[in-house]
Structure 1
Amino acid sequence: MHFLSADLEAYAEQNSEKEPSLLAALARETHLKVLQPRMLSGHLQGRFLSLLSKLICPKYIVEIGTFTGYATLCLAEGLSQEGFIHTIEVNEELEEIQNKYFEQSSYRSQIIQHFAPALSVIPTLPDGIDLVFIDADKKNYPNYLEAILPKMRKGGIILSDNVLWSGKVVENVKDNDKHTQVLISYNQQLANDSRLETILLPIRDGLSIARVR
């Protein structure tokens, strides 16, 4: 499901900050060489992530699901001078393309990569997280949330991507469609959790923003 027509999406991009050339090159290479390039955040969502990070000016970001590193670089744009981002990816085959673009950026020294299941990495991370971006396997979204919440600082922000799941969350869900079932439950969990203040935005494929009370 496209929530905006191609013309409206192009108009929004034209009237937003221009996509940095490094990220445009990364997006192009991802589409040429990597399976499921749709997983890339892309221009409009990427500029949103960048601006939100700049507003927060975080010292400590955690990203669950690096893919080729597009969103990583967008989030890193808002890091404070002494800040860092831990980014977690289970697919080691993506390390080469990640490093190619991380090394061309201004943030290489601030990016800490982990190649392992996120649920094994999160417990090893220090407390006091300012900003989290969850964009990995959907079935574990509730588990990621529960693992990350105790490590968040008060007022920290948790972003969750793909929470509208191509519109399937408002359709008749098939019994074997476990991803949609999990996301419906997860969205309700975010909305009803007394520890959080949440808004679900129809950006790209759905992006939730939750603030830790």
Structure 2
Amino acid sequence: MKVYPTTAGKTVSALQGHFQQMLMRLTRPQSVLELGTFMGYSAMAMADGMPKGGVLYTCEKDPKAARLSRELFEELAYSPSEKKVNVERKDATIEVVEGNGLSSLASLRERGLRFDAVFLDADKSNYVNYYNFILDNDMLNDNGYILADNVLFSGLVLNSEERKARAPGSSSKGKGKKDRDAADGEWTSEAFQKFADHIDTFNKHVRNDPRVDVVLLPAFDGLSLIMKKRQ
């Protein structure tokens, strides 16, 4: 099992990365879309499982993360750049698309791109919007699939009361302590609940969408495998 650079708590686990790589090996997608790059861990894991000539497009709204991931992909020969002539190229290449998710999707649509696989791991409040954009604009190939991450969100989506009880800062032990600010990279109780609500809305939206079949896997932080129904 290959180990990739990672930042704990902000990217998929090594085990999940290996799972996604094996999924790529099984399904052999030529064109993959990832929404949410961060430092590129999951992108590299998936690219290593793709067939020769495959392209993975990864979208990242944070300029610093986009720049650092580009540098990493070039250094490790995932980039289509020809700057490093003495480095053996990977079978699949990775292209970083910088910008917010919906504008990035619009730019990819304008290029006429369609995808065999989509990994959804961006801002949770826009999961429904990203999902709808991809399906409404026919950006998913007929036998393609969407893999949505964090659909259980630490179990907080299962029950609203349970979510409130389990959220950080909600227990009596935590009373009197100020919630850490989500803007500083930490989660408050309220932020957890809001994100869980967005995920719950997404799960119900997909479940009730007559265009697709979905299986929610209770693995990692919850993964939904979504495919268009056969015509």
Normalising by the smaller structure, the TM-score range is 0.7 to 0.9
Segments of structure 2 that go 5 or more residues without pairing to the other structure are 81-92, 165-189
Contact 2:70-2:96 within 8 A present in 1 as well: no
Contact 1:89-1:115 within 8 A present in 2 as well: yes
Give, in angstroms, the shift of residue 76 of structure 1: 0.7
Match of 1:13 in 2: none
Give, in angstroms, the shift of residue 169 of structure 1: 0.7
Instruction: Answer with 101-110 or 141-150: which moved more.
Output: 101-110
**Match status 1:139 vs 2:110:** no
**Match status 1:204 vs 2:220:** yes
Contact 2:37-2:66 within 8 A present in 1 as well: no
Question: Given the alignment, which residue of 186, 189, 199 partners 2:205?
Answer: 189
**Match status 1:114 vs 2:97:** yes
**Match status 1:152 vs 2:140:** yes
Question: Given the alignment, which residue of 54, 60, 74 partners 1:103?
Answer: 74
Give, in angstroms, the shift of residue 99 of structure 1: 3.1
Q: CA RMSD in A?
A: 1.8
**Letter matched to residue 118 of structure 1:** G
User: Structure 1 length as normaliser, TM-score?
Assistant: 0.80
Match of 2:181 in 1: none
Match of 1:33 in 2: none
- SS state of the match for residue 80, structure 1? coil
Question: Given the alignment, which residue of 89, 92, 96 partners 2:63?
Answer: 92
Give, in angstroms, the shift of residue 56 of structure 1: 1.2
Q: Which has the larger radius of gyration?
A: 2
Give, in angstroms, the shift of residue 188 of structure 1: 1.4
Give, in angstroms, the shift of residue 195 of structure 1: 1.3
**Match status 1:130 vs 2:113:** no
The alignment-based identity, stated in percent, is: 34
Tell me how far apart the structure 1 counterparts of residues 72 and 28 of structure 2 sit (CA, whole Å). Answer: 22
Instruction: Answer with 102-111 or 144-153: which moved more.
Output: 102-111
Instruction: Answer with 113-122 or 100-109: which moved more.
Output: 100-109
Tell me how far apart the structure 2 counterparts of residues 102 and 204 of structure 1 sit (CA, whole Å). Answer: 25
Give, in angstroms, the shift of residue 97 of structure 1: 3.3
Shift in alpha-carbon separation, 1:73–1:168, aligned structure 2, 3 A: same
Structure with higher helix content: 1
Give, in angstroms, the shift of residue 80 of structure 1: 2.4
Written as runs of structure 1 = structure 2, the 5 A alignment for 1:74-93 is 74-93=45-64
Please list the CA deviations of residues 23-75 of structure 1 after superposition, one character each: whole Å capped at 9, or x if unmatched: 0xx12xx3xxxxxx412112110011000011111111110000110000011
Segments of structure 1 that go 5 or more residues without pairing to the other structure are 1-17, 31-36
- Runs (4+) off by over 4 Å: none
For this pair of structures, how many residues does the alignment match?
184
